[in-house]
Amino acid sequence: MAIVLGAIADDFTGATDLANNLVRAGMRCVQVIGVPDPATVIEDVDAVVVALKSRACPADEAVADSLAALDWLQAQGARQLFFKYCSTFDSTDAGNIGPVADALLERLRATETERLRATETERLRATVTERLGGSQTVMVPAFPINGRTVYQGHLFVGDRLLNDSGMQHHPLNPMRDADLVRVLGRQTPHPVGLAARPTLVQGGDATRRHLQALAAEGIRHVICDTLDEDDLAVLAEAVVDMPLVTGGSGLGQALPAQYRRWGWLDEVTDPGRLVPASGAALVLSGSCSRATLGQVDHFLERHPGFALEPLALAEGDAHLQAALSFARERLADGGPVLVYASADPERVKAAQAALGVERAGQLVEAALGELASTLVGEGVGRLIVAGGESSGAVVSALGVTMMRIGEQIDPGVPWTQAPLPGRSDSNAPLSLALKSGNFGGKDFFTRAFDVLPTGRPS
Ligand code: ADP
């Protein structure tokens, strides 16, 4: 069955954020990690989000990976493509938002021309949406409920302009200009236009006509104002049949209602339904963010935990083996148990001073990966990982390549399930919650297991 929405996300947590919003808006959704094998077909989903690592890499790599993702999503029959980036428009003058959007549009135009040639009926049908066929896309980064809004093309974070929000100090992509028309203008040789609020308040049809007028002038990229959810709904109505849209997960939240209006998407009662979870419960934490430290303390007041010390890990295998035996003993009756490297800034600094920042991080990440693959092989079936980098390390150690997105535990963090042939019970998927540093309430680790429906006893 063909999918409705195929998304290409420029980083892993951004992909999950979008996927989570799509499920909440009524789409069954799978996130894949990297571009799948061409033969891979995913069943029973309405949307697939391909997670790339294309935000900060060289632009030509980002373009190549994004085009590979586009080809695969088109082969899955995606009706609409969505290039997802951060709501703070994270990019530099070298890219990657402009070059990737240009390359995707060009590829779409090429495939569309081929399709037009294919049959006369196809040609007739295609003329209906010809205005948009690979010739124009919109840029909708805003995520109003998280305080990211756009007015007259200027991006705000809360009440600050982007270049005064802290983002001007970002280590990889300092955002020193809030005027997105200008920012994007430096990333593409093509003209950039604006769909401003006075147009949006006139509704979806007026906005659509405005986009068409801009397309007739040859304007390829249109930055869109967005102050609130109503603006997102208007934009979704105006662009629902555009082959490629781009933006943050706010737009993702607004599109599914339009897909239903167009009859592309059935009403699904429980889009985030997962199979009942099974297996022992483990938390691995490599995040030292403030929210995680609070979650670790809260968990340790109720359940057992083992503190991983980078300095001890550097001395040989004994420390990791001790962590494994500790966890095994507690997992025998189902857990939950926590193994954590999370530490306050002083202890982190001490470890980094002794080992170097990179090596301290690598030791922790390698240990978390090893713990995850060993313990999942021995029966862990419900796993929470705290930390963005830590999650990346665990997911690659486990060989996870796709995750079905379930219900949200806390804003932005859903339960997911990954088919994992390495599990002792290979028929049951691994239930996995990946939480980046500052997400989640204080009781996240305990509550997450409480809200996950389980089937068989562990
Ligand atoms: P977050 O999402 O909170 O930023 P990440 O997992 O992305 O968490 O990053 C945390 C980094 O800190 C990882 O590279 C991890 O290996 C490293 N780390 C974790 N614990 C320690 C520690 N005690 N000392 C030094 N580095 C640590």
Using the mean position of ligand 1's atoms as its centre, give its distance from the Cα of residue 172 in Å. Answer: 18
Q: List Cβ<8 Å contacts ≥24 apart for 209-217.
A: 211/132, 211/136, 211/138, 211/238, 211/239, 212/131, 214/136, 215/131, 215/132, 215/135, 215/136, 217/191, 217/193
Using a 6 Å cutoff on CB, does residue 369 contact ligand 1? no
* Residues 297, 245 share a domain: no
Which residues, 6 or more positions from 309, have their beta carbon under 8 angstroms from its beta carbon? 319, 341, 351
Looking up tokens 């005027």, which residue turns up? Answer: 179
269 found inside a domain: no
- Asked whether residue 321 falls in the same domain as residue 238, the answer is no
CA angle 206, 233, 17 (to 5 degrees): 140
> Residue 36 corresponds to which tokens in the numbers above?
């799948």
Instruction: Identify whether residues 195 and 306 lie together within a single domain.
Output: no
Distance CA 164, CA 179 (A): 12
For residue 132, the model assigns a pLDDT of 45
Does residue 437 fall inside a structural domain? yes
Of 261, 290, 306, the residue at which a domain comes to its end is 261
Predicted local distance difference test score (pLDDT) of residue 190: 96
Is the domain of 315 the same as that of 445? yes
Residue 360 and residue 310 share a domain: yes
For tokens 């405005």, the residue is 210
The CATH number of the domain holding residue 412 is: 3.40.980.20
**Same-domain pairing of 428 and 285:** yes
Residues 347 and 440 placed together within one structural domain of the fold? yes
| pTM for the predicted model, two decimal places | 0.91
**Same structural domain, 297 and 345:** yes
Residue 271 lies in a domain: no
Give the residue numbers spanning the domain of 346.
Answer: 280-450
Q: Does 79 map to a domain?
A: yes
Looking at the CA of residue 362, tell me the nearest atom of ligand 1: 16
Q: Is the dihedral of CA 402, 5, 245, 439 positive or negative?
A: negative
| Cβ of 288 less than 6 Å from ligand 1 | yes
> One digit per residue, pLDDT tens: the chain, 458 residues?
689 999 999 998 899 999 999 999 999 999 999 999 988 888 899 999 999 999 989 999 999 999 999 999 999 999 999 999 999 999 999 999 999 999 999 999 888 777 666 655 555 555 444 444 578 999 999 999 989 999 999 999 999 999 999 888 887 889 999 999 999 999 999 999 999 999 999 999 999 999 999 999 999 999 999 999 999 999 999 999 999 999 999 999 999 999 999 999 999 889 999 999 999 999 999 999 889 999 999 999 999 999 999 999 999 999 999 999 999 999 999 999 999 999 999 999 999 999 999 999 999 999 999 999 999 999 999 999 999 889 999 999 999 999 999 999 998 899 999 998 666 565 789 999 999 888 899 999 999 999 999 985 44
Backbone angles phi, psi at 111, to 5 degrees: -70, -35
352 lines ligand 1 (CB under 6 A): yes
Q: Is 374 in the pocket of ligand 1 (CB under 6 A)?
A: no
What 3-state DSSP class applies to 86?
coil
Q: Are residues 50 and 93 in the same domain?
A: yes
Contact yes or no for 235/254 (Cβ under 8 A): yes
Number of domains observed in the structure of the chain? 2
Boundary of a domain, candidates 229, 261, 293 = 261
Backbone phi and psi for residue 61, each to the nearest 5 degrees, phi listed first:
-70, -45
Counting from 1 in the atom list of ligand 1, the atom nearest the Cα of 368 is: 16
Ligand 1 within 6 A of CB of 440 = no
For ligand 1, atom 20: residue with the closest CA: 341
CA of 127 to the centre of ligand 1 (A): 52
How many CA atoms lie less than 13 Å away from 452 in the CB half-sphere?
A: 33
The residue count of the chain comes to 458
Predicted confidence at residue 388, as pLDDT, reads 87
Same domain for 26 and 96? yes
* Same domain, residue pair 76 and 135: yes
| 343 CB near ligand 1 (under 6 Å) | yes
The dihedral through the CA atoms of 194, 197, 198, 201 has a sign that is positive
| Helix ranges restricted to H, 37-96 | 59-75
Closest CA to 292 of 304, 282, 283: 283
Ligand 1 and 390: CB distance under 6 A: yes
The pLDDT of residue 455 is 82
Query: Domain for residue 458, yes or no?
Result: no
**Last residue of a domain, which of 261, 288, 318?**
261
Q: What is the pLDDT of residue 444?
A: 97
- Is 295 near ligand 1, meaning CB less than 6 Å away? no
pLDDT at 128 (0 to 100):
43
What DSSP line would sit under 330-387, residue for residue?
A: HHTTT--EEEE----HHHHHHHHHHH-HHHHHHHHHHHHHHHHHHHHHTTEEEEEEES
Structure tokens at 106: 């060009």
Instruction: Kindly state if the Cβ of 396 falls inside 6 Å of ligand 1.
Output: no
Mutate to test the pocket of ligand 1, among 320, 352, 389 (most ligand atoms within 8 A of CB): 389
71: domain CATH number is: 3.40.50.10840
Domain annotation covers residue 406: yes
Q: Tell me, yes or no, whether 191 and 243 share the same domain.
A: yes
